[in-house]
Each structure stands twice: as C-alpha cells, then as structure tokens.
Structure 1
Amino acid sequence: MQNFFDVLVRYETELWAMVDDRLAAAGAVSLAKLEALRVVDRHTGRCRVHEVSVDLSITVGAASKLVDRIARAGLVRREPNPQDRRSALVVLTPAGADALAFAAEVATRALGDHLDLPGVDVAALTDGLAVLRARLAAETSPEAEA
C-alpha cells in the first residue's frame, strides 16, 4: 500500500510540474491560477472564496491568497455578496475568461499528449480515483468522526 501512495503522490507532483511547464512555455497562466479560474467558471462565473477552497481542497487562507493573485492579474474581481455582507463574490472578468480558455486548451493538449497511451484506460483510472477520493472524504468528514 505504501508503494501505491508513493507512486501516486510523486506522479501527481511530476504531472503538475509538466503541465505547469507547458503552460509557462505557451505564455499562459500558471496551473494554480488555471485551477482557480476553472472553479469560478464552474460556479457560473461567480463564487465565494469558500468554493475555491472546497473545490481545490486547500485552506480558506490559501484560497484567499490565490484569489488575491488572480485578482491582481485582472482575471477576476471581488464584488459584494448580496446574500451575505460578510463575504465577497469572486467574479470572472473577460480577461479571465480569455486566459482560462487559452490555458485550458494548452493544459488539455499537454495531458492528452501524455495520457494517450495504448492500453491505458484513463476513464477507468479516473473512476477509480473518484471512488477512492469519495471514500476518503466520507472517512474524514466531521460526521464520520462523531
């Protein structure tokens, strides 16, 4: 089991670096910024920092710093949240939508080039990892500890 863990973690790290390098070479946003933009886009172009945190499995503090970076780059803007005055909405800008589209294309091409191997069923691997991730979430949820 430890070997599975070692291989999985190293693969994720190396895959992230490869995609991030391809994005940099193409002049696109970093993979971290792309992932944040994808979260905002999945939430119909506007969400709270909390959604970025949950969707990326990072702390709220880390998500806030990431949102600050993409806001400084003009890719999103913060707006008052009409439903909750204590929080702001993160809204995708036109420049952010363009950066997202370009970077997503570059990342998809990089992943496609890498994962296009005979005998490798990427859909089955994805499904298997989704099952493991759901199991881990169930085991670590506050309800599971009660």
Structure 2
Amino acid sequence: MARFTDMFTELVRVEIELWNGLDAHLVATAGITLPQFQALDAIRANSGQARVQDISQRMAITVGATSKVVDRLERDGLALRSAHPTDRRSSIVSLTSKGASALNIADDAAESHLREELGGVLSDDDAGRLLGDLVSLRAQSRVEVAK
C-alpha cells in the first residue's frame, strides 16, 4: 500500500527539481525567470491586461509576492502598470511588446525543456492523464481550504 506522505514528498521534490531546471533554462534562453514567465502568461490569459489580484490567483501566490513579480516585470520593461479605469484601489498590468516577445520565446523554451525532461517517462497520453489528476487534486485542495 502506498503511503500518501511518501507520495507527497516525492511530488514536492519533483516539483522543486523541475522548477529549478526550468527557471535556469528560461533565464538562459528567454532572459526571464519562471515567476516572470508565469506572471506574463497570466496577463496574456486575461486578454493582455490583468489586475495584480488576477495574476495572484492564477499563480496561486500571495498578492504581495505577485506585486513584487510585477514590479520586476515593470522594471525590466516587460509589463506596464496603469490606473484601473473604474477602481482607484486597483491597477491594470499590461504586456509590453518586449514582454509579449519574451513570453513567446519562453513558451517555446519551456515546452521543449519540459518535453525533454518528462517525455522519456511520460507519453502524451500519460501526461494528459496526469494533468487531469493534478487539476482534480488542486480543485479538491481548494475546496478543503475553503471549509
């Protein structure tokens, strides 16, 4: 019988190793970090404009941590923060052309890197099933946290 604590430990270790490898690969190939890539992707997923809170929710990190990532995106010319048109407490983060270009490069780099890292162990079908399982597990953990 599998121990869930053993499975959890391995899942976390795999995530850390994949994260570190992909982060280094993105810096080398696209000039952006993995958190920057994820934030840019979250902005793109929201039609190219998102509130910090929208990015935070998509990345599953705190608003404070997200704000720091957005500060770095802005500093590097990858995103632009402007006043929200109807909510003075909020701002809108938009992709710049430099950010959109970096995101496109990072997309290809991330996919090829992860396919190389995982493709020898997981077929496309296996990866699809694993993705479905992980989405279900994440949805369940959100329900449990909300209780």
TM-score above 0.5, yes or no: yes
2:18 counterpart of 1:12: no
Q: Which amino acid aligns with 1:71?
A: E
Structure 2 residues not aligned, in runs of 5+: none
Does the CA-based 8 Å contact 2:30-2:105 persist in structure 1? no
Supply the distance in 1 between the matched residues of 2:13 and 2:121 (Cα, whole angstroms).
22
Q: Which residue of 2 aligns with 1:131?
A: 136
Q: Partners of 1:119 and 1:21 in 2: how far apart?
A: 22
Structure 2 partner of 1:24: 27
Confirm whether residue 102 of structure 1 aligns to residue 77 of structure 2. no
Contact 1:28 1:102 in 2 (8 A): no
> SS where residue 77 of structure 1 aligns?
strand
TM-score normalised by length of structure 2: 0.92
Q: Which amino acid aligns with 2:127?
A: V
Deviations 1:93-128 (A, max 9, x none): 111000100111111110111121266410001101
Correspondence 1:30-41 to 2 at 5 A: 30-41=33-44
Measured after TM superposition, the shift of residue 28 of structure 1 is 2.5
Structure 1 Cα separation of the partners of residues 71 and 34 of structure 2: 16
User: Aligned partners of 1:119, 1:27: CA distance in 2, in Å?
Assistant: 26
1:41 offset after TM fit, Å?
0.4
Percent of matched pairs sharing the same residue:
39
Large movers: runs of 4+ above 6 Å: none
1:47-68 per-position Cα deviation (integer Å, ceiling 9, x unaligned): 1000111111111100001100
In structure 1, give the amino acid aligned to 2:129: A
RMSD: 1.2
TM-fit CA distance, 1:20: 1.1
Aligned positions, number? 142
| Unaligned ranges ≥5, structure 1 | none
